[in-house]
Amino acid sequence: MTISDSFHVYDTTLRDGAQQEGLNLSVHDKLTIARHLDDLGVGFIEGGWPGANPKDTEFFRLAQSELALKNATFVAFGATRRAGVKAVDDALLRALVDSGAPVVTLVAKSHDRHVDLALKTSLDENLAMIKDSIEYLRANNRRVFLDAEHFFDGYRSNPNYALEVVRTAAEAGADVVALCDTNGGMLPDELADVVHEILTKSSARLGIHCHNDTGCAIANSLAAVAAGATHVQGTLNGYGERTGNADLVSIIANLQLKKHQQVLPEGKLEEAFRISHAVAEVTNVAPSARQPYVGVSAFAHKAGLHASAIKVDPALYQHEDPESVGNDMRMLVSEMAGRASIELKSQELGIDLGKDKEVVSRIVDRVKSMEARGYTFEAADASFELLLREELDGKRLQFFTLDSWETTVDQNGDGTVTSRAHVVIRARGERIESEGTGNGPVNAIDNALRKGLEKIYPELNQLELTDYKVRILEGRLGTGAVTRVLVETSDGKGEWSTVGVHENVIAASAMALEDAVTYGLLRRNQKPE
């Protein structure tokens, strides 16, 4: 299915999104993200500012040979000509043409104070710069969009001039004039009123570009579309300066699922979860668990009341089917859990509790008791699965027994710190003593435990501790507080999380590590003792 040109989904992740603090994209990163965006089915991908940025110039050069876009059109971003310089003589305008991009987006001042103070030129010259630049690009067979920077603030300051910028751009041949809430200070009702007014006072096709400084970027974008804008700009995952840009994923999902407006090719919205997280891997920005639609918590349920209703009909506590965006429903097990939560979570883990109400009730009571002592299972699926199997089998799943452990930490004269651990393990009738070192006592225990067990379970050499979190539980005092430790482990094919709770942080860590290794052996289909 080809999407009509009557509505544009315009992505600016590679340019505006890349301005986020701490985000630094290589040319290779940008090429990779561009492929993901094309897979999502957006209409336009803004690649950057060729001529002004050497990295972006290189990106456009490589894109011509290395990217074969199936759905999107590449866009080069730049500014209008300089004041007092002919468009034909402006090197940056020439670079936009040389980029090979069939579409160019020009940023132009629409706020009178910015013309005066930032450009240091006259209002009439700014209009001439807009007109000349668009006509030059049109003469070079480029489709032109105009970003009217600081439009809403400018319209509040001098509505006649801001409107004249829009009219000048449209008359010069700009296909779209995107009204930019550059400082992100607008609210939806106010913004919609302005969009409506501009549509009635000009012949321009309007777009919208919102920043999220009031937390309203998505709402503002949707309000603009409702008021008549037919071109919406944003970034994947809401990347961008300060508080970010409008999250394009949420905008697309809302338009397509709530407004029943087909803005992506058929079947592409179902790729949203995968692509959102794939791009997050490239940017090295941890995805927000609570991001609408595509966050891992977007369709996660914790309350027992919710779970009971979901067993009857998931739609009772979900505004959309998670599969519509490629996400999944998740059940969280906590002190709020009831029978339904346990049953649904068990099904999610592939464990059939049958119709044994006594077993389910026993699990519910145990979970609540353990969570009262500081455990949390909503972030430790592996520990919860081990608990389930224990209750079903009537005994703990055991491949080994950690009889004892001890750790030492030494600081040397040169300031280096060495941690050592000694563990005593029993496995398959054998008593094993093992020692390990590490960058801390937990790492040392982990190494000692796996080193000792590898004689019997050689596959443990593939396990790696990938994350370690410590939390001092509320309601206790200082260093005497109960500590909860969450450990994340990987075997190269998957990851799992386990939990330990104890007054001693090392003891809590050892408990979580014991669960982690046990679960790792379970994954490898080892037979317990």
Q: In this predicted model, what pLDDT tens digit does every residue of 315-371 receive, in sequence order? A: 666 788 888 898 877 665 554 555 666 776 777 778 877 677 788 888 888 877 887
Q: Are 367 and 333 in contact (CB under 8 A)?
A: yes
345 and 445 both lie in a single domain: no
Q: From CA 343, how far away is CA 359, in angstroms rounded?
A: 10
Q: From CA 529, how far away is CA 526, in angstroms rounded?
A: 10
The CA R_g of the chain, rounded to the nearest whole Å, is: 29
164 and 122 both lie in a single domain: yes
Domain of residue 201 covers: 8-283
Evaluate whether residue 330 is within a structural domain: yes
76 and 159 both lie in a single domain: yes
Of 372, 390, 422, which residue constitutes the final position of a domain? 372
Q: From CA 255, how far away is CA 470, in angstroms rounded?
A: 41
110 and 219 both lie in a single domain: yes
pLDDT of residue 474: 59
Evaluate whether residue 387 is within a structural domain: no
pLDDT of residue 207: 98
pLDDT of residue 495: 86
Q: What is the distance of C-alpha 511 from the center of its chain?
A: 32
Evaluate whether residue 155 is within a structural domain: yes
pLDDT of residue 128: 97
Q: What is the distance of C-alpha 518 from the center of its chain?
A: 31
CA distances to 32, 99, 140, 183, 334 from 49, in Å: 18, 9, 18, 21, 49
330 and 264 both lie in a single domain: no
CATH number of 460's domain: 3.30.160.270
275 and 310 both lie in a single domain: no
The structure's pTM equals 0.70
pLDDT of residue 98: 95
pLDDT of residue 49: 95
63 and 174 both lie in a single domain: yes
Q: From CA 254, how far away is CA 313, in angstroms rounded?
A: 22
**How would DSSP label each residue in 440-471?**
SHHHHHHHHHHHHHTTT-GGGGG-EEEEEEEE
Evaluate whether residue 363 is within a structural domain: yes
How, if at all, do strands 8-11 and 231-234 pair?
parallel
Structural domains counted in the chain: 3
Tell me how crowded residue 52 is: count the other CB atoms within 10 A of its CB.
Answer: 15
Q: Are 101 and 51 in contact (CB under 8 A)?
A: no
244 and 336 both lie in a single domain: no
CATH number of 93's domain: 3.20.20.70
Evaluate whether residue 289 is within a structural domain: no
pLDDT of residue 480: 54
Flag residues of the chain having pLDDT under 50: 335, 476-479
> Residue 39: which of 260, 190, 265, 216 has the closest Cα?
265
pLDDT of residue 145: 98
492 and 459 both lie in a single domain: yes
Evaluate whether residue 396 is within a structural domain: no
Which class for 158: exposed (0-12), middle (13-18), buried (19 or more C-beta within 10 A)? middle
